[in-house]
Amino acid sequence: MTISWSGFVDGWPVYISAPIGEIVGYTASGSISFTVPSSWLGTYTLIAEQPYVGSSNTVTFTVVAAAPPPPPEADGKVYHIDVQDKARGVSFTYHNGVWNRQPEVTVGNNLYISACAVNQGAAGNLTLTIKDDTGAILSSATVTLGTGAGFCIGTGTINMPNRSYSINCVVTP
């Protein structure tokens, strides 16, 4: 951060108040400009003082941490997955990183899978895709979302050969 100030008396030493207490330079044509390290978070007084006469000019400034820039593009996170084996009356839910039980059901007819994603980045398009362990796409949708917005998709009831599956839900910009 660069601090620039004018209105000081020419040629006076300029220093920062405590706890810094450093001379940052001398006024030239009544002005001074210097760079403040980002580690100097807080409020300080800039003092231009003629030591032997006892007069001074002061101005107060505050150094604050800059807000981080927003992500440059949409950035999605899958936060919810629901797997229902309707034929057996069993369901499994994943929500914010936690499964409600271990999803090791052998699924067959009457399987329903849904997933939800949220945009953690800048506004833009996100594609949410549900795939099985062979890479076959069971459902996919692309939606334009603002920051913090979300959407869900589902497979509807699908019939799959009776075997164990792993389900892969992916969200991409």
For 57-76, the pLDDT digits (tens) are 666 666 666 666 666 788 88
pLDDT, average across residues 71-93: 83
- The fold for domain 76-172 equals Immunoglobulin-like (2.60.40)
pTM, to two decimals: 0.56
Residues of the chain with CATH 2.60.40: 76-172
Beta strands of 27-136 (E only): which ranges?
A: 31-35, 42-50, 55-63, 76-85, 90-95, 98-99, 106-107, 111-119, 124-132
Residue with more model confidence, 151 or 18: 151
pLDDT value for 124: 92
Q: Measured between alpha carbons, how far is residue 62 from residues 1, 41, 43, 75, 105 in Å?
A: 11, 7, 4, 34, 60
Question: Which whole number is the average pLDDT over 16-45?
Answer: 68
Residue 8 — pLDDT band, cuts 50, 70, 90? low
